Amino acid sequence: MSLIHPTAVIEDGAILGANVSVGPFVYIGKKVRIGDNTTIATHAVIEGDTTIGKNNRIFSHTAVGTIPQDLKFNGEDVQLIIGDNNTIREFTLLNPGTKGGGSVTKIGNGNLLMGYVHLGHDVIIGDSCILANGATLAGHVELGNHVVIGGLTPVHQFVHIGDFAMIGGASALAQDIPPYCLAEGNRANLRGLNLTGLRRTMERDEINLLKVAYRELFEQGNPLQEVAQSIFESTTSDKVKKLCEFIKTSKRGIPFNRIKNEDK
């Protein structure tokens, strides 16, 4: 029995790996490459210079690789690269890169993109991230590994979100969120560490070191960059160093409630 439905349209030049399943009324463009054991459900559209890895599940009515939503786009050669073992649910929209942003949108491995998720041009996502229904990432957003973004949450262009961070649902994020942290609200502010996520993957001693660093950084009212540099130089914890390095290199700033000296 064929794994390609007779109503599917696959342009000459497209490359499909072994055991790729293509459902009814799917369109696959001529520059598309799809890895082994990937399934593509009914009415999905995959076009452009798009590379999809192995063992992905692409659900119905997704639009993958359509041109970026950028008025400056003028038909340049741009790419969308998707890794392995991702789940891309219904009505998700994934755009390739743009010339001004590096020309590549890249998604890692093992991610879950729920329904109506949008990834704008030049977005970079690591591994094992979860984007809930209706999460939308503007252009040039970067996510680390194991990031969780709640439903109906928009993320402003050029925002960076570090490893193991979590953004609450129905938030609106306009600044960078350091690794291991939890943020929520409109506009989103830090609320503490993402302790639930950390406890699943990290030893208690390491979490305790992050707690101490978080308090020094965000709850003492001292200059953030100075504190980050001081902690970075004194700590032996790689994870605390990673937290401080993210803060030191942030371009959009970190959203948190600053304590005034008279409030201390």
- Show the domains of the chain with their CATH numbers: 9-140 (2.160.10.10), 198-263 (1.20.1180.10)
Supply the pLDDT for residue 1. Answer: 45
Supply the pLDDT for residue 37. Answer: 97
C-alpha distances in Å from residue 235, one per residue of 57, 221, 232, 243 = 42, 20, 6, 11
Among residues 49, 53, 108, 122, which one is catalytic?
122
Is 169 one of the catalytic residues? no
Is 122 one of the catalytic residues? yes
Among residues 35, 53, 139, 144, which one is catalytic?
139
Supply the pLDDT for residue 259. Answer: 75
Q: What does the chain look like in DSSP terms, one character per residue?
A: --SB-TT-EE-TT-EE-TT-EE-TT-EE-TT-EE-TT-EE-TT-EE-SEEEE-SS-EE-TT-EESPPPS-TT--S---EEEE-SS-EE-TT-EE----GGGTSEEEE-SS-EE-TT-EE-TT-EE-SS-EE-TT-EE-TT-EE-SS-EE-TT-EE-TT-EE-TT-EE-TT-BB-S-B-TTEEEEEBTEEEEEE-HHHHHTTS-HHHHHHHHHHHHHHHSS-S-HHHHHHHHHHH---HHHHHHHHHHHH-SS-----PPPGGG-
Supply the pLDDT for residue 263. Answer: 56
Please give the chain's pLDDT, 264 residues, in tens. 469 999 999 999 999 999 999 999 999 999 999 999 999 999 999 999 999 999 999 999 999 999 999 999 999 999 999 999 999 999 999 999 999 999 999 999 999 999 999 999 999 999 999 999 999 999 999 999 999 999 999 999 999 999 999 999 999 999 999 999 999 999 999 999 999 999 999 999 999 999 999 999 999 999 999 999 999 999 999 999 999 999 999 999 999 998 765 555
Among residues 121, 140, 156, 160, which one is catalytic?
121
Angle at 217 between CA 213 and CA 220, to 5 degrees: 110
Supply the pLDDT for residue 262. Answer: 52
Supply the pLDDT for residue 258. Answer: 85
Q: Cβ distance 125 to 107 under 8 Å?
A: yes
